[in-house]
Amino acid sequence: MKTLQGPALFLAQFAGDTAPFNTWKGITKWAADCGYIGVQVPSWETRFIDLDKAAVSRDYCDEWKGQAAENGITVTELSCHLQGQLVAVHPAYDIAFDGFAAPEARNDPAARQAWAVSQVEKTIRASRNLGLSAVGTFSGALAWPYLYPWPQRPAGLVEAAFDELAKRWRPLLDLSEENGVDLCYEIHPGEDLHDGVTFEMFLDRVDNHARAKMLYDPSHYVLQCLDYLDNIDIYADRIGMFHVKDAEFNPTGRQGVYGGYQSWVNRAGRFRSLGDGQVDFGAVFSKLAAADFDGWAVVEWECALKHPEDGAREGAAFVRDHIIRVTPHAFDDFAAGGTDDAANRQMLGLDR
């Protein structure tokens, strides 16, 4: 068993143009004041990190980490979710996702994909220079518009999409291996890797690549009515990162999983601040500890109701209270009889 690290905070939802959310020193001090000891950093957020420098300069990385350390903060991982999304984009989403790319790569799907791949590569190299072991990302999606099988999907459509997805990610997984970094795909609606089955379909096509891991976030499983505890048992050896995020699903006679195109507040399934939703985090933390997960418990604040700063402060205490300091010995060791092999054989009646 292992003790999780934390609490840490994913900074993506807090970046802004006003202090303290607009500078690296400012946001790390604020995070520490909220009770966090670590932060997960979006690699696209230029207010916090110069990814180009981080990818090539260990001196820059050491200085950058040092600035966080002065505020009592450890950098837990880098994230390239937005760039990973652009590694594979179905044409139906060209306009919607174009804003994720640098201006020079927009309105040109091929240029946008090349830019995205380069960004993921830089995030992997920067993680090596920072001494980190995991990168969080999205897989992107080619088959997502065909999720519901109506009209009937042509034979081979999904298989072709996953073949291409694996073709695009395999070189990045190999680069991750070269740099000693896991690529952790957040299992997330809107991505082709959105549940266990689709993750396995991808693994099959990348030859069960050792660097292909999961970013486990139970909130996305609640909204899919997927057993998020059984998921830990099944994929324990593939869980490389952990987002602590809550959610609730309250279907009615009018609305269910698909949400009726309603706003987040009015959906049957919606994200909530920690402790306000339906995730059994006591069981989640217990299972992860028993499964030897010793990574970071990273709060990802997303809530349809609560103010983000309140959610962040409450989240730090919530995680701290849920982390289990695992026991170094069995509770009944006081009653151990000190037996040996010979005594065991005698107890079993094998030497009579």
Rounded CA separation 150/74 (Å): 48
The reported pLDDT for the residue numbered 338 is 72
Rounded CA separation 197/111 (Å): 31
- Domain span at residue 154 reads 5-347
Confidence of residue 49 (pLDDT cuts 50, 70, 90): very high
Confidence of residue 335 (pLDDT cuts 50, 70, 90): low
Q: Tally the domains of the chain.
A: 1
Q: What is the mean pLDDT of the chain?
A: 96
**Region 243-251: what's the mean pLDDT?**
98
**Residue 56 located in a structural domain:** yes
- Max alpha carbon distance in the chain (Å)? 83
In DSSP terms, 182 is beta-bridged to 134
**Region 146-152: what's the mean pLDDT?**
96
The reported pLDDT for the residue numbered 334 is 61
**Residue 188 located in a structural domain:** yes
Confidence of residue 332 (pLDDT cuts 50, 70, 90): low
C-alpha distances out from residue 5 to 10, 102, 167, 237, Å = 14, 34, 34, 18
Instruction: Give the side-chain half-sphere CA count within 13 A for 300.
Output: 22
What pTM did the predictor assign?
Answer: 0.95
**Residue 329 located in a structural domain:** yes
Percent helix, strand and coil across the chain, each rounded to 5?
A: 45, 15, 40
Length in residues, the chain: 352
Rounded CA separation 233/236 (Å): 6
Instruction: Give SS3 for 166.
Output: helix
Residue that has been written with the tokens 């309250």 in this structure: 250
Q: Inform me whether the pLDDT recorded for 329 exceeds 80.
A: no
Q: Inform me whether the pLDDT recorded for 148 exceeds 90.
A: yes
Instruction: Yes or no: say if 299 and 9 are a contact pair by the CB < 8 Å rule.
Output: yes
Q: Inform me whether the pLDDT recorded for 339 exceeds 70.
A: yes
Q: What is the pLDDT of residues 72-110, one digit of tens each?
A: 999 999 999 999 999 999 999 999 999 999 999 999 999
**Residue 138 located in a structural domain:** yes
Q: Which of 196, 78, 207, 185 has the alpha carbon at shortest distance from 140?
A: 185
Q: Inform me whether the pLDDT recorded for 317 exceeds 90.
A: yes
Rounded CA separation 197/281 (Å): 23
Q: Which tokens go with 1?
A: 């068993």
The CATH number of the domain where 264 resides is what? Answer: 3.20.20.150
**Residue 168 located in a structural domain:** yes
**Residue 110 located in a structural domain:** yes
Cα-Cα end-to-end distance for the chain: 38
Rounded CA separation 65/211 (Å): 25
Q: Which tokens go with 12?
A: 């993506």
**Region 121-141: what's the mean pLDDT?**
98
**Residue 352 located in a structural domain:** no
Confidence of residue 331 (pLDDT cuts 50, 70, 90): low
5-235-128-207 Cα dihedral, nearest 10 degrees: 170
The reported pLDDT for the residue numbered 154 is 97
Phi-psi region of 120 (alpha: psi -120 to 50; beta: other; left: phi over 0): alpha
**Region 321-343: what's the mean pLDDT?**
79
